Amino acid sequence: MVHLISYGTYIPKYRIKIADIAGVWKKDSREITSGLGVTEKSVPGIDEDAVTVAYEAASLCVEHSGIPPGTIEALFVGSESHPYAVNPTSTIVGEFLGLGNTYVAADTEFACKAGTAGIQMVAGLVGSGHIQFGLAIGSDTAQSKPHDVLEYTSACAAVAVLLGNRRGVAELLSYTSFTSDTPDFWRRDGIRYPSHAGRFTGEPAYFHHCIGASERLLQQTKKKPSDFDYCVFHMPNGRFPREAALRLGFTMEQLLPSLIVDSIGNPYAASSMLGLSAVLDIVKPGKTIFMVSYGSGAGSDGFIWKTTDKLADMQKKRKKNNQLVAQQRDKKAYIDYVEYLKKTHKI
């Protein structure tokens, strides 16, 4: 058995309203917010990067797990905004956490599913009996070119999950992947901002892979959407996850608890993991969660989780320390566009 032992989340307090970005470029803010389904997004501080936000989430995760850091034998950090081209994020975070030296570390890059790729890697190591505990992190200070459509949604957050072979807050019942060479989003080496294929990123990219992974997971488990209590889909904007859920036969009641994109934007590798965390913050024991990530390039990872009675204690700890996703979402300070450029583009 592979269990989710603990999880930690971090959302920076800074926010910029989508209307303020639109106003700078003389765009109709109502048209943009209604089209993307996003009203504001999270912004990293001037001294924050993928390493620091990953550590914030991971330190909370490890603290609440009760697992000594030195017994964690794997650490994978998924991001598309690693601060170094050559120098791993994972070893820096591992050093900060005090993991010692006897652990396997690696950075993963697969756009917005880099974090869930790490979950699968840890699950394989735990499930095979090779290790007892492993940490997977999705962390991004998402990058976007000024005046590009991505500027309205690219956000910042990090999520860490600790998996292990002892009973935790949720059991991993099944997982799968659906992958193809579909380059809908890319950034060549040495280029500062990513490029994308516009409308092409929807139908042949996001929906094809999310629905493909979902259907495969449903087939291999012989389940149907109504068998699940909650569902989570990657959230590049507010419209795509809603449409994917409805196409598959899920209801808005199953999806809504996970939709953090509306108020913080798309934190890339942390997106679907943050949606899962939002559900874990409120769900009761014995409930099942259907989760599908998406990463441009392109691929989706699908997971089925079942919560246990140990989750209530985790929820109490997180609430007491103002660490719930909803609490972190609501703790915010608005900044203007000039300050936004300073923090994200370091001008």
Q: Provide the annotated active-site residues.
A: 80, 112, 234
Place of tokens 């803010």: 29
Half-sphere exposure of 105 (CA within 13 A, CB side): 16
Decide the pairing of beta strands 299-307 and 170-179: antiparallel
> How many helices (H) and strands (E) are present in the chain, helices listed first?
13, 14
Q: What share of the chain is helix, strand, coil (3-state, %, to 5)?
A: 40, 25, 35
Beta strands in 26-155 (DSSP E): 40-43, 74-78, 104-108, 133-141
Angle between helices 50-65 and 311-320 (to 10 degrees): 120
**Cis status of the peptide bond prior to 298, with omega within 30 of 0:** yes
Sign of the alpha-carbon dihedral angle for 119, 241, 336, 319: negative
Q: How far apart are CA 42 and CA 11, in angstroms?
A: 7
* DSSP helix/strand/coil, 141: strand
Amino acid at 43: V
Which tokens go with 37? 């389904």
Report how far residue 72's alpha carbon sits from residue 60's, in angstroms, rounded to the nearest whole number.
Answer: 15
What tokens appear for 320 in the block? 């007491």
What is the Cα Rg of the chain in Å? 19
CA distance 304 to 2: 12
Cα 310 to Cα 284: distance, rounded to the nearest angstrom = 10
Q: Rounded to whole angstroms, how far apart are CA atoms 117 and 205?
A: 18
Give how far Cα 313 sits from Cα of 59, 100, 280, Å: 18, 28, 12
Q: Quote the CA–CA distance of 276 and 165 in Å, as a whole number.
A: 20
